[in-house]
Amino acid sequence: MRWQAGIRCDGRCEQVHQTAREEVIRRQGEDMLELSTPVIQLWDGILALPIIGTLDSQRTQVVMEALLQQIVATRSPIAILDITGVPTVDTLTAQHLLKTVAATRLMGAECIISGIRPQIAQTIVHLGVELQGVTTKATLADAFRLALKKLGQSLGPSSVGPSSRAP
């Protein structure tokens, strides 16, 4: 038997303590997943989901749920998935993105994928992943401009993106 914090503890006590600790760690992990997938309303009718880090099955599910919930809550017709912060795209990641796009469409919204860097574009082509019918843009600013245009709105040519800086 072991003593913990002045309490005599046998094997069952240690097991209960271990189980409780593992549950706390699991809940903290779930909380971190939810916090790592913020859905931002950029404009009335336009949502953005900047994704940073690796996309696996569990995280993609959280991403999809968060996005779909916000589409319903805000009645936004356009959602932008920004993958600028995703280091690599493999076949599984691309399939997860396509499933998110499909689910978004089923909710009645259009999905634009932004942040596709040259090396990711090459990888997607090399893997043979079909993005036919999926709107893509190189930057979040380009995707935002397109989304505004689709809603019949505009901020002007120099209001969004790097060219908006003063000389």
pLDDT digits (tens, 9 = 90+) for 11-48: 677 777 778 777 777 666 555 555 557 899 999 999 99
pLDDT exceeds 70 at position 161: no
Architecture (CATH level 2) of domain 39-158 = 2-Layer Sandwich (3.30)
Nearest Cα neighbor of 114 from 71, 155, 161, 74 is 161
Q: Find the angle CA(82)-CA(87)-CA(89) to the nearest 5 degrees.
A: 80
Record the pTM: 0.73
Instruction: Map out the domains of the chain as residue ranges.
Output: 9-34, 39-158
Which one-letter amino acid corresponds to residue 5? A
Residue 37, C-beta contacts closer than 8 angstroms, at least 6 positions apart: 49, 51, 59, 62, 63, 66
> Three-class SS of residue 79?
strand
Question: Higher confidence at residue 26 or residue 123?
Answer: 123
pLDDT exceeds 90 at position 53: no
Where do we find the tokens 């097991």? 15
End-to-end CA distance of the chain: 73
Whether 84 and 117 have beta carbons less than 8 Å apart is answered as yes
